Homo-oligomer: A and B are copies of this chain.
Amino acid sequence: MQHLGGISQTLGHYVDLNQEEADLLSQLEQQSIRVSKGAALWHTDCIPETIYTLGSGWAYACHHDANGRERVLDVFVPGDLAGIREVTYRSHHTTVSMLTDGVLYPLHTERLLDIVYQSPRLALAVHSCAARQQAIIAERLVNVLSNDAKARVAHFVLEIYYRLRRVDDTIDEYFSLPLKQKHLSLMLGMTHVHISRIMAELEEAKLLCRHGKSIEILNLPQLAELGDFNPDRFTGGLNPLLAAHIARN
């Protein structure tokens, strides 16, 4: 499993870091830690005291409704910054657990504050990173609101594909997808039984192909049309009004 370079690599996708900024980040970031499948990064109701960059491995965020049923609302892939969405809150409202073994780069909440105080450009990079995560969730909301089961699955597969590619451009149309059908069903608002049927249909139609914990996109354009998927909302660059301003400082 490939290891990425912590928060500086992740933020580097939003703002070109100079030496000083890279130094600041590596100075604030803690040692990487290895975690096993099933390990929890944090629990519901805890104070958000650490955020984690995923060097490798997948995680997911869930909470439980009044009847104890699990509700998955987010998945984190290698390179993601887990925790910025909730870091300003008094307490976490999700539990985040590893779906696979992995390597994490922890960063204390107070160090995040140091970043904001010492470097406006990094503050902006953090905000951009958070905005991308938000856009992904908004996009999934739209997906679930207006697409049927087949389109939802198509859309989700493409979401993951482009998210993986954003951080690692060696990813091709054959990639790891360590989610059980149970997780897929919780994220897409359908039963795992129906996921199974829909996946079989997509495979039958030669749009994709499953190989154990991995998946292969066989016909990306047709999958994108089926899922009404627009990659611009995932890949779009920085606002030129901000980019110009940043370059001057």
A contact residues vs B (CB 8 Å cutoff): 14, 47-49, 63, 65-66, 69, 71, 73-74, 84-91, 93, 109-110, 113, 116-117, 120, 123-124, 126-128, 130-131, 133-135, 137-138, 140-142, 144-146, 186-189, 225, 228, 230, 232-233, 236-242, 245-246, 249
Question: Out of B90, B137, B232, B242, which one reaches A134, CB within 8 Å?
Answer: B137
Shortest C-beta distance, A19 to chain B (Å), equals 20
Checking B90, B130, B237 against A238 with a beta-carbon cut-off of 8 angstroms, the contacting residue is: B90
Q: B239–A47 contact, CB under 8 A? A: yes
Number of copies: 2
Chain B residues near A228 (CB-CB < 8 A) = 65-66
| Across-interface contacts of A69 in B (CB, < 8 A) | 146
A145 touches B71 (CB 8 A): yes
Excluding A86-B135, A117-B120, 4 further A-B contacts by CB distance (< 8 Å) are A89-B135, A109-B242, A117-B249, A145-B186
* A101 smallest CB distance to B (angstroms): 27
**Cα A137 to Cα B74 with chains together (Å):** 12
Task: Assess the A73–B142 pair: CB atoms within 8 A.
Answer: yes
Q: How many Å from the CB of A66 to the closest CB on chain B?
A: 5
Are B109 and A241 in touch, CB under 8 angstroms? yes
**A230 vs B123: C-alpha distance in the bound complex, in angstroms?**
31
Contact pick for A116, options B47, B48, B124, CB 8 Å: B124
**Contact across chains for B90 and A131 when beta carbons are under 8 A apart:** no
Q: Could you say which residues of chain B place their CB within 8 Å of the CB of A237?
A: 89-90
Identify which of B88, B124, B135, B236 contacts A124 (C-beta below 8 A).
B88
When distances are taken between beta carbons in the complex, the residues of chain B under 8 Å from A230 are: 93
With a cutoff of 8 Å between Cβ atoms, the chain B residues found around residue A74 in the complex are 138
Given contacts A137-B134, A146-B189, A187-B145, contact A49 B241 (CB under 8 A): yes
